Amino acid sequence: MLTFIGLGLYDERSVTVEGREALRAADRAFAEFYTSRLVGADVANLEASHDVDIEVRDRAGVEQDPEPILEAAASGDAAFLAAGDTMISTTHTDLRLRAEERGIDTRVIHGVTAQSAASSLTGLQNYRFGKATTLPFPYAHGGDDVPASVVETIEANRERGLHTVVYLDIKVGTGPTGPDPDHEEYMTADVAAGLLAENWGDELAVVVARAGSPDAVVAADRLSALAERDFGDPLHLLVIPGDLHHVEADALVGLADAPESLVGE
């Protein structure tokens, strides 16, 4: 059996009870933290809390050399861990399909995701979100501006009146000069707002910082204004709202301190 377990958003307590029980029952546990991480816990915290040893795999160790994970699942019960949900945004479908092709049973134990938290914390209705996008560091895509794919996604959603979740780049194990095992970098919302302000400087946006933590921050203002603020430790994301239902507008004022004049525009 290979069980994919979403660890949730923040620390060692964010996993569901079902996920915790499956993790503790596993013969071997593997994890990846190159696509996201728990900012409130490290591997040692997870191991101590759940009484397991966790083998952390880098991107190559999951995508190019998954054999140790598959062998562990073929001969016993293996758990594969990732922050959030292992199959939402952080997609490990290829690993699951490889297991199924070898006759290994699989199951998914879901975790809370940044996308669902963004809707819950901001008051923006989940069914009014369009396609999400990821804003990379400029050095990661070889330019100083916002990639055309990001612009096109946001504009396509805006034309339909839909909200856009903008995930912010994470670089673990690679940096501006290439592979670097010691490099760990997280784009912050002020930097992201500054980049997006070049295209939509006066447009409304919403910052969600440290979703799932005791000190989560939700702040709505113009992109140009958000670019001047400090939102503290990662992880951060941005939401570019589309057309606002009156309840959503009220929520942004009440929950995210949006200027009333801005949400009424």
Contact at 8 Å (CB) between 243 and 207?
no
Question: How confident is the prediction for the chain on average, in pLDDT?
Answer: 93
Is pLDDT at 28 greater than 70 in this prediction? Answer: yes
- Report the range out of 54-63, 135-144, 167-176 with the highest average pLDDT: 54-63
Categorize the per-residue pLDDT at 152 as very low, low, confident or very high, splitting at 50, 70 and 90. Answer: very high
**Residue-wise pLDDT tens digits, 169-199:** 988 777 676 776 777 789 999 999 999 998 8
Please write the tens of the pLDDT for every residue from 219-259.
999 999 999 999 999 999 999 999 999 999 999 999 999 99
**Cα(30)–Cα(83) distance, integer angstroms:** 12
Cα 205 from Cα 238, distance rounded (Å): 7
The whole-number pLDDT of residue 181 equals: 73
Residue pair 255/123 in contact (Cβ under 8 Å)? The answer is: yes
Contact between residue 30 and residue 57 where contact means Cβ atoms under 8 Å apart: yes
Region 70-84: mean pLDDT is 96
Closest residue by Cα to residue 20 from 56, 52, 68, 62: 52
CB 157 within 8 A of CB 131: yes
Q: Please check the confidence at residue 4 and state whether its pLDDT lies above 80.
A: yes
Distance, CA of 199 to CA of 220 (rounded, Å): 18
pLDDT at 265 over 70: no
Read off the pLDDT band of 76 (50, 70, 90).
very high
Q: With a threshold of 0.85, does the pTM exceed it?
A: yes
